[in-house]
Structure 1
Amino acid sequence: MIQVLSTECSEEAKKVEHALHTEETLKQKAADEKAKHLEAIKEVEQAKWSFTREAYSKHKAEMVGSMMSLDKEKIVDAILSNTRSCRRYSKHEIELATDNFSEARKIGEGGYGNVYRCTLDHIEVAVKVIQQDSTDKTDEFLREVEILSKLHHPNLVLLIGFCPEMGCLVYEYMENGSLEDQLLNNKKRQPLHWFLRFRIIFEVSCGLAFLHGRKPEPIVHRDLKPANILLDKNYVAKIGDAGFAKLISDLVPDCQTEYTDTIVAGTLYYMDPEYQQTGTVRPKSDLFGLGVIILQLLTGKRPHGLIVSVENAVKKGLLFHVLDMSQTDWPLAEAEMLAKLGLQCTALKCRDRPDLDSEVLPKLEEILRRISCKADMRNPKPCAPAHFICPITKEVMDDPYVVADGHTYEHYAIEAWLRKYRTSPLTRRKLPNLSIIPNHSLRAAIQQWKNSSRAEAWNGQ
């Protein structure tokens, strides 16, 4: 009996132990399931919070975008109300004029987009289009519109209109491209005549003086370089690309150094060294670029190492060694005057550079007077520079053409000569070919000289 009870107790104990083990297992499973449930709830809550934050960020971005669009529209309306000469073009008008931005109409690339040549309102224009990935430059676009729409000067590129929807600027078309093209990429063109080079730097200085003299706030261009100087059909120089231009409300004296946190804008080799170091910009900051351009006009070289090269040549009295060899009859005295002026403009410190209005412009005017016309004391009629005279007619040319011998002649005279002969009128040697090319650069120089001579004759009466 006792053995039976002991066996039963043992079996009951096993059952109890099994029950307890089963209970613990179930409790563990329940705990695991609860933990999973809590984790799922946590994930749902995080997802909700993440979605809410994303939705809020999206809403905030949309609000900011809407506010920016509204601000942009206000600026556009202000521009149109302040000027009658600047027109707003629609997206459809721009696309139609450019043949949907056809590669055939593309003529170059600006600071932040492609440039297309087309016709709008029966006028030949250049349309600069902001790149699709340059939306961060909207402020730059609006700044250029705002500044250029208010500026009118013979030596500033005229802004005809704009399209805010596409970020397009519509400029007058400049037939002879940029000064950089004429100086450095002119394989298919006649070299820019030295007379025009003197005139071009004077015109650029006039445009710059206009910007610096703007009231109540001067305008500093900050990116003056040959690529931003454009030439019209008569080789009149005009400053373009005012995207980096800055209004200066508080002028820092030239003798004072002030460090700012402003983002430096401009192009290496043309940028004021003091501006690069301190971030302080002032009108004389542009004079450094102007000085480099002067040296490039004289030498036809790229800017790297140019200042030192010209400085050494001037010190040694060997300037003619670095002058552009495409011009064989440089007026050396005037070229040296211009070189020294260019070197003064490229002084490292602003305070050491000449004043544009009181020093640079008067010096350029003096140089132009000396090369434009040297009066014969016995004859009040001005003497034309020798290179303006046709070797055949012995008269000032109206329509100069270059022949295979490298010399220039009056168009009708050289055509008559070539109908009879296959030799050079000057060297008498046989010409390699009978082709003739119009010398647009010299023609513009002659026209400028004629206009100057007429003005002097009128003033002398």
Structure 2
Amino acid sequence: MDIMVRSLAESKQEMENKLATETKSRGHLADRVSWLEFERDALAERVKELKQRLPKAVGDVNTCIPALQEFSRKDLQVATHDFDVKWNNCGHGDEHEHLYFGKLWDNSLVMVKKMRDVNTQAIHRDKLKSEVVDKLILLRHPQMLIPLGVCYEDGCLVYEHMAHGTVKDWIACTRQSTWYTRFRLMAEVARGLCFLHSDPLGSGGPIIHSAIRPTNIFLDDKFVAKIGDVDLALLDSEPAQVVETTLKEKKTSRVVANHNSHYVAPEYWESQVFSEETDIFAFGITLLEMLTGNFTNAFEVVEDAIEDDNAFENALDPNAGCWDIDLARRVASLGLRCASYNRRKRPDMAAPNTGILAILEEVAGNVELAASREDE
């Protein structure tokens, strides 16, 4: 009997202890809930305050954006030797037929770009200002080629001269295009493209470039990648449902000029609409071309070689030095997925960890270590 009484007493004590513990826990939880509710209310007030301050902040930012220098037609005629064909293209190939090398009165070097419509006529002042200039000056990003000036009189934009030309020039014409620099440039272009796709103008949608390729990626004097032709992307950026036939023809002629159709995603030919997915397709082809130095059929070359170690190593551009094969294979695999004929299989640009930008940032982060191994 004593044992039963003692057992019951112990059970009672155990239940009382559990009840006390649960009561204490509920008290802690109640305190935590109260604190979270307090934080929620404080954050709501902070959000309300920030929303009230936002219009003024935006206004302050806009007033800090420097206005473009305005040039006269005479200024640019003098700078470019009257748009002499010998000064045409800035050495960047036939694709940039409206791009001229120039030297201003202060001896600074520039690129002068004639903005022309589908009929090769100068873009009207109002259209150039509202659709291109006013938007371009807001796209402040390290990987954007932003104009220094404008000539409304002749429909021209004036850009800083890119000392090292385009990525295609650099790879095809020099032996300084090392593999580790290429990886860094790939990540920089991905950052720029991610920026364009992030609704940078706050207009409710991405800026679709529609002509990503090695000839539209410029290199400044510090070998920093700058995405060009954003001006034309803005000029073409009308909603798909209201795009007129002439504009479609203009877009198509721009992207397939000089046999560049292999950068165009297959779905475009059916829909006549460019999208984030079509930009990713073109970027994938660009990645493969930067790996191989092959600007005609890089996709086919890499696809055939990627499963065989020797074949893959032979497919890489030998002028880039001794590649880190593991990093190169990872980028090649990414490029093939980006250039998949099935747009649903293409990776997302900005997805955490698995997105295009995340992968290329990680590769670029490993480049310095891999390059140091090459020097040992």
CA contact (8 A) 1:231 1:237 kept: yes
State the AA in 2 paired with 1:98.
T
Higher helix proportion (structure 1 or 2): 2
Tell me which residue corresponds to 1:101. 83
Instruction: After superposition, give the CA deviation of every residue in 1:246-277 in whole Å (9 maximum; x if it has no partner).
Output: 5768799xxxxxx9964443131111211222
Highest RCO, 1 vs 2 (Cα 8 Å, sep ≥ 6): 2
Structure 2, unmatched stretches of 5+, are 1-61
Secondary structure of 1:138's match? coil
Q: Deviations over 1:184-227 (max 9, x none)?
A: 2x0xx324111110001110111111111122231000011111
Could you tell me which of 285, 292, 297 is aligned with 1:299?
A: 292
CA distance in 2, matches of 1:314, 1:204: 23
Mapped partners of 2:339, 2:80: distance in 1:
41
Residue 28 of structure 2 corresponds to which residue in structure 1?
none
1:177 maps to which residue? 165
TM-score, normalisation: structure 1: 0.57
**1:68 corresponding residue in structure 2:** none
Instruction: Kindly indicate whether the alpha-carbon contact (under 8 Å) linking 1:154 and 1:238 is maintained by their aligned counterparts in 2.
Output: yes
Runs of 4+ that moved beyond 6 A: 247-252
Match of 2:330 among 323, 328, 337: 337
Query: What CA distance in whole angstroms lies between the structure 1 residues aligned with 2:86 and 2:304?
Result: 46
| 2:58 aligned residue | none
Please report the RMSD computed on the Cα atoms of aligned residues, expressed in angstroms. 3.1
Describe the superposition over 1:123-158 as per-residue Cα deviations: whole angstroms up to 9, x where unpaired. Answer: 432112357995446279664434423311110112
CA radius of gyration, larger in:
1
Match of 2:197 in 1: 212
Residues 1:221 and 2:209 aligned together: yes
Residue number in structure 2 paired with 1:241: 229
Q: For residues 175 and 169 of structure 1, what CA distance do their matches in structure 2 show?
A: 18
Q: How many residues align?
A: 291
Show CA shifts across 1:310-359 (max 9, x none).
11111334310201122341000000000000001001132211111110
CA distance in 2, matches of 1:366, 1:272: 26
Would the alpha carbon gap of residues 308 and 117 (structure 1) be closer, same or farther in structure 2, given more than 3 Å must change? same
Q: Deviations for 1:47-91, whole angstroms, at most 9, x for unmatched residues? A: xxxxxxxxxxxxxxxxxxxxxxxxxxxxxxxxx999533222112
1:281 aligns with 2:263: no
Greater strand proportion: 1
Percent of matched pairs sharing the same residue: 29
* SS at 1:197 equivalent: helix
Question: What SS does the corresponding residue of 1:281 show, helix, strand or coil?
Answer: coil
Q: State the alpha-carbon separation in 1 of the partners of residues 82 and 169 from structure 2.
A: 26
Once the two structures are TM-superposed, the CA of residue 111 in structure 1 deviates from its matched residue by 4.2
- Does the CA contact (< 8 Å) of 2:334 and 2:356 recur in 1? yes
Contact 1:226 1:293 in 2 (8 A): yes
1:54-203 aligned at under 5 Å gives the runs 84-102=66-84, 105-106=87-88, 107-108=90-91, 111-119=96-104, 123-129=108-114, 135-136=120-121, 138=123, 143-184=131-172, 186=173, 189-203=174-188
Aligned partners of 2:218 and 2:226 also within 8 Å: yes
Match of 1:314 among 299, 306, 310: 306
Alignment partner of 1:222: what SS?
coil
TM-score (norm. length: structure 2): 0.69
Residues 352 and 134 (structure 1 numbering): CA distance in 2 closer, same or farther, change over 3 Å? Answer: same
Which residue identity does 2:196 align to in structure 1? Answer: L
Q: Which residue of 2 aligns with 1:45?
A: none
Q: Residues 309 and 135 from structure 1, CA distance in 2 versus in 1: closer, same or farther, beyond 3 angstroms?
A: closer
